[in-house]
């Protein structure tokens, strides 16, 4: 896949990193958020004991991270259009490294919460700049291949992060987790220093005018209609992720170890999704693939409703089509949204990343109510939002405002 991606670069211009190094940096930046949130999950009980506070108080370090990260992406994206990808990325990574060190040195839970907020704000640069660089450097089919690699890395990170966190926790305290994150920040910082600027033409105006470009992008009917349509699929996904431990451990009575195996097995299909897309898109149009995936997502919801309560195995089998279909959509949807904006790429990238986090939180809220049967609700969410997304997709995909991908000429 790498060779084909490199052949599709708009310009080389990477004197120190080279094209392979740039691709590796983009992939690493895409893993920043899962690493920053999932790496320290095994340490949460130890942190609560250390600070002698409730689990709810410690969980604020996770909840507030997502809130401030979603907001920060909207800040960094437009600034990268004005000042360039490299300066913004370097600035954000300096703050990230500093925040990680301060988290490791925290003496009370309030300090930890505050430094985690700073870490979240800084993390927004990684995803905003990473996605924007993909648009700067690649185009057409090659951009899809690069995005497939990026999304695969985003899916792999949540699987390996808790394992790494458990290993670090086995040889040191929870503070070692944040020292590890600071090391990851230093590694990314080294890559950012070596990266050559990818923006050819920067936006003009002051900072407020740069931030106002978010509104300009949202006024683009093609981009906004696709943004709303594609963001909805994160609702059932995040609903499952946030409720999975309660379902498998509390309802089915599985151990934490067995639960982790079921969760990891489901996550493997998230990783395979982008790869599957690149294979089948050689024969089937991307727009057709998206329609079929939304249909599969809905049918998976029905399976969950009727079979999910029978056993953990039936639930896992019922979930797999939804997981795979949602992951397959990722590369073509991101590519199509980026295609709608010839300018303000940073702003568009920021809105894309932020929308996934915001809509995903809706799923977390919906599933968190005291439902008598969470599995049935999970099935309903997949069915409803699968059908709603399919309806919106069929409505807007052929609309006059949508800029179609020129390379999408495959036939069934």
pLDDT digits 0-9 by tens, 292-344 = 999 999 999 999 999 999 999 999 999 999 999 999 998 899 889 988 888 88
The secondary structure of residue 400, as a DSSP letter, is T
pLDDT surpassing 60 at residue 6: no
* Encoded tokens for 397: 């995909």
CA atoms of 359 and 229, how far apart (whole Å): 11
CB 43 within 8 A of CB 58: no
The DSSP annotation for 256-323 comes to HHHHHHHHHHHHHHHHHHHHHHHHHTTTS-HHHHHHHHHHHHHHHHHHHHHHTTT-HHHHHHHHHHHH
* Encoded tokens for 247: 């379902």
Q: Give start and end residues of each alpha helix (H) in 172-255.
A: 175-194, 207-211, 213-218, 221-231, 234-245
Band of the pLDDT at 286, cuts 50, 70, 90? confident
CA atoms of 250 and 243, how far apart (whole Å): 10
CB 64 within 8 A of CB 101: no
* Average pLDDT value over all residues in the chain: 86
pTM: 0.78
pLDDT surpassing 80 at residue 260: no
The answer to whether domain 14-205 has CATH 1.20.1250.20 is: yes
Handedness of CA 118, 120, 121, 126 (dihedral sign): positive
Residue 54 has what pLDDT? 84
CA atoms of 159 and 35, how far apart (whole Å): 10
Say which residue, 160 or 347, is predicted with more confidence: 347
- Residues of each domain in the chain carrying CATH 1.20.1250.20: 14-205, 209-401
Residues β-bridged to residue 9: 138
What is the average per-residue pLDDT within 137-166?
78
Residue 37 DSSP SS3: helix
Percentages helix, strand, coil for the chain (3-state, rounded to 5) are 80, 0, 20
What is the average per-residue pLDDT within 186-214?
84
Residue 175 has what pLDDT? 93
Residue for token pair 């997304």: 389
What is the average per-residue pLDDT within 54-65?
82
CA atoms of 129 and 149, how far apart (whole Å): 16
Provide the terminal-to-terminal Cα distance of the chain, rounded to the nearest Å.
Answer: 23
Q: In Å, how far are 14, 81, 121, 161, 210 from 206, measured between CA atoms?
A: 29, 12, 21, 39, 6
Closest Cα to residue 279, out of 318, 332, 340?
332
Residue 10 has what pLDDT? 54
Residue 138 DSSP SS3: strand
Rama region for 13: left / alpha / beta (φ>0; ψ in -120 to 50; rest): left
* Encoded tokens for 42: 């095994």
For the ranges 18-22, 24-28, 121-125, 284-288, the lowest mean pLDDT is seen at: 18-22
Band of the pLDDT at 119, cuts 50, 70, 90? very high
CA atoms of 6 and 407, how far apart (whole Å): 17
Domain 209-401, CATH class in plain words: mainly alpha
CB 81 within 8 A of CB 213: yes
CA atoms of 296 and 280, how far apart (whole Å): 15
């Amino acid at each position: 896949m790498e060779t084909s991606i490199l052949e599709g670069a708009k310009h080389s211009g990477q004197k120190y990193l080279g094209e392979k190094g740039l691709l590796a940096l983009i992939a690493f930046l895409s893993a920043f958020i899962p690493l920053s949130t999932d790496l320290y999950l095994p340490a949460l009980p130890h942190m609560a004991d250390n600070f002698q506070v409730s689990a709810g108080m410690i969980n604020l370090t996770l909840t507030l991270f997502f809130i401030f990260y979603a907001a920060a992406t909207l800040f960094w994206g437009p600034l990268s259009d004005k000042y360039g990808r490299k300066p913004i990325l370097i600035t954000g990574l300096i703050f990230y490294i500093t925040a990680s060190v301060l988290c490791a040195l925290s003496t009370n839970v309030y300090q930890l919460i505050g430094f985690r907020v700073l870490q979240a704000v800084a993390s927004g640069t990684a995803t905003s700049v990473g996605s924007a660089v993909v648009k700067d450097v690649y185009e057409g089919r090659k951009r899809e291949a690069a995005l497939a690699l990026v999304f695969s890395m985003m899916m792999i990170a949540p699987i390996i992060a808790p394992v790494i966190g458990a290993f670090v926790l086995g040889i040191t305290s929870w503070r070692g987790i944040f020292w590890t994150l600071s090391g990851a920040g230093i590694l990314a910082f080294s890559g950012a220093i070596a990266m050559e600027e990818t923006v050819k033409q920067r936006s003009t105006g002051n900072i407020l005018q740069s931030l106002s470009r978010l509104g300009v992008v949202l006024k683009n009917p093609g981009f906004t209609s696709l943004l709303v349509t594609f963001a909805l699929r994160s609702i059932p996904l995040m609903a499952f992720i946030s409720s999975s431990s309660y379902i498998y451990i509390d309802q089915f009575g599985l151990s934490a170890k067995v639960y982790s195996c079921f969760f990891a097995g489901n996550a493997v299909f998230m990783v395979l999704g982008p790869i599957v897309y690149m294979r089948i898109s050689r024969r089937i149009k991307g727009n057709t693939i998206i329609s079929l995936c939304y249909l599969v997502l809905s049918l998976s919801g029905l399976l969950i409703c009727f079979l999910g309560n029978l056993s953990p195995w039936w639930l896992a089998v019922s979930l797999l089509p939804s997981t795979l279909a949602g992951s397959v959509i990722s590369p073509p949807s991101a590519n199509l949204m980026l295609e709608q904006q010839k300018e303000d790429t940073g702003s568009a990238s920021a809105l894309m990343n932020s929308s996934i986090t915001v809509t995903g939180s809706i799923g977390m809220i919906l599933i968190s109510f005291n439902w008598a049967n969470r599995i049935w609700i999970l099935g309903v969410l997949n069915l409803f939002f699968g059908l709603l997304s399919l309806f919106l997709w069929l409505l807007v995909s052929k609309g006059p405002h949508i800029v179609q991908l020129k390379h999408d000429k495959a036939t069934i």
